[in-house]
A and B are shown apart, each in its own frame.
Chain A
Amino acid sequence: MNRRIALVAVMIVAIAGCQREQRNFDETPSGATAIKSLRMSEVIPGAPDQPPHVVNPDENNAYALSEGKRLFTWYNCTGCHAEGGGGSGPALMDDVWIYGSDPANVFATIVQGRPNGMPAFGGRIPEKEVWELVAYVRSMSGKASKTAAPSRNDSIQAKPSENRVDPQPTTPYGTPQPPS
């Protein structure tokens, strides 16, 4: 009898532990204020400042990551970056981050655009979707939890799905890297 009660108790605890990941359909607050203090050069007059601490609200949220994967095709990121391997734009699935790998840096790169071809998407893509793209772009080189990163490709692709990518070493903040 006692054993049965214990079993039921364990099941109740297990069920209580089941929780579905929250899907956030609402808009997220603007991250633009933090982006303003972002530096694209490591040469700074005076004392070096702290890198802005911006938390991507969609980092490691499986739904947001898969939405980012959808938007990556919708907004034609594939047109230049292909499926991450790069084309007329740089590859995104390697550990080289020309303009920084932090979420804030990737956000700024998408919103502001970059010389030599990266369009400025600010105002054309809602911020919520930019953050989803940021999370997905980082997952391409393993910078997302394997439990949250997309586990399958909708179409035939010459690369493994994002949750099978090993994490790449993070480059130090603001260190410009030459394209390989």
Chain B
Amino acid sequence: MSRARSIAAVVALASSSRALAVPLQDALDPAGPQAQHLVALWDLMLAMSTVVFVLLVGAAWIAVLRRTRREIETPDLAHSEQEHRRLTRIVSAAVIVSALGLAALVIATIATDRALAGLPLQDALHIELTGHQWWWEASYDNADPSKVFTTANEIHIPVGRPVIFSLKADDVIHSLWVPNLHGKKDLIPGRVATHTIRADRPGIYRGQCAEFCGYQHAWMGLLVVADPPDQYAKWEAHQRETVSTPSDPTAAAGQHVFESGTCAMCHAVQGTTANGRHGPDLTHVASRMTLAAVTLDNTPANLAAWIEDPARIKPGTNMPGNNLPPADMGALLAYLATLK
């Protein structure tokens, strides 16, 4: 029965992912200089591999056809010495061409690596990105500690400005991969890795954990939203704002449910007594596009389903189910909707 249920959940997820309002990732559609370098290297390797493949298949066919023709001929012993020299020349030429081709790829790879590392980092934005089972925590660094803010699963970056990620892991090894912007980089517990990106055109770029990290690895998504600089500045200023007590009585009741129930044990809402640090920061959850690490569209119905029984949507998730009375659930949803 439980298997039937998990299959049903997978089917529901697969269909819901198609319905997700955010675009899928595409490594061949570069949105920044890093991804452009990688696509150029990919194109070169694809072209060379195609040429090599065609030459090899051609050579194999020639060999097959020649052998059948030769078998009926009498061996020409008078010219065997000449024949041997000719073969040596052909093989030597092939070896030299192969070595040159491989060397060209090595040089291209090194050049790409240098280009990736050479991203100019003046005026960079610093983001500390922590991988958790199974979501992303992003903390925007600032020289002024009171300006540091934290968000989850959806990070905004300004177009044209480089971003330096400090990558950390809370539990197991994860890997950051936003194919439209850059290659992969592992997040290893107890270490800090650095990853730099820049987006040159506005857009929504989906990221994905690229290192198997347990049950919900496949649904550990991340959204990188590249905004024009003025729009980004607005977003950043808004993220720093804390939450005031809602005026609507239903939402106020929902805040009480949140803070006196199980929610506040793991989630934080800045400006309230909810200070849990094990789950995503929910200060501005209503402004995000998706829920549960880019698994569901952020709609009240999806949010209710997620709060009620997260294990049905993502089996193994660390978020427990909450059997709330309907009135409390309604109030809680009203409260969460105010967290814009």
Contact = CB atoms under 8 A, between A and B. Distances in A.
B50 interface: no
Interface range for A = 10 to 19
A126 B322 contact: yes
A125 B266 CA distance: 10
Contact of A75 (B261, B265, B315): B265
A70 to B, nearest CB: 8
Contacts of A23: 316
B142 interface: no
Contact of B261 (A22, A124, A129): A124
Given A25-B316, A74-B278, A124 B265 contact: yes
B321 interface: yes
A74 B276 CA distance: 9
A138 interface: no
Contact of B262 (A70, A124, A154): A124
A109 to B, nearest CB: 18
Interface of B: 2, 171, 260-262, 264-266, 278, 311, 315-316, 318, 320-323
Contacts of B278: 74
A125 B278 CA distance: 13
Contacts, number: 30
A158 B262 CA distance: 31
Given A23-B316, A27-B323, A125 B311 contact: no
Contacts of A125: 262, 265
B320 A123 contact: no
B262 A126 contact: yes
B321 A128 contact: yes
Which of B260, B262, B315, B322 gathers the greatest number of chain A CB atoms within 10 Å? B262
A123 B256 CA distance: 13
Given A123-B260, A123-B261, A124-B261, A129 B311 contact: no
Contacts of B318: 70
A42 interface: no
A26 interface: yes
Contacts of B171: 154
Contacts of B2: 22
Given A22-B2, A25-B315, A126-B321, 13 more contacts: A25-B311, A27-B323, A74-B266, A75-B265, A123-B260, A123-B262, A124-B264, A124-B265, A126-B262, A126-B322, A128-B321, A129-B320, A154-B171
A129 B260 CA distance: 17
Contacts of B266: 74
Interface in A88-144: 123-126, 128-129
A27 B320 CA distance: 9
A103 to B, nearest CB: 19
Nearest to A154: B171
A36 to B, nearest CB: 19
Nearest to B319: A126
Contacts of A70: 318
A13 to B, nearest CB: 23
Sort A-B residue pairs by CB-CB distance and give the 5 closest, nearest first: A25-B311, A126-B320, A27-B321, A74-B278, A25-B315
Interface centre among B264, B265, B278, B316 (most CB of A within 10 A): B265
Interface in A22-67: 22-23, 25-27
Contacts of A74: 266, 278
A23 B311 CA distance: 11
Contacts of A22: 2
Contacts of A128: 320-321
Interface string A1-29: 00000000000000000000011011100
19 contacts: A22-B2, A25-B311, A25-B316, A26-B311, A70-B318, A74-B266, A123-B260, A123-B261, A123-B262, A124-B262, A124-B264, A124-B265, A125-B262, A125-B265, A126-B320, A126-B322, A128-B320, A128-B321, A154-B171
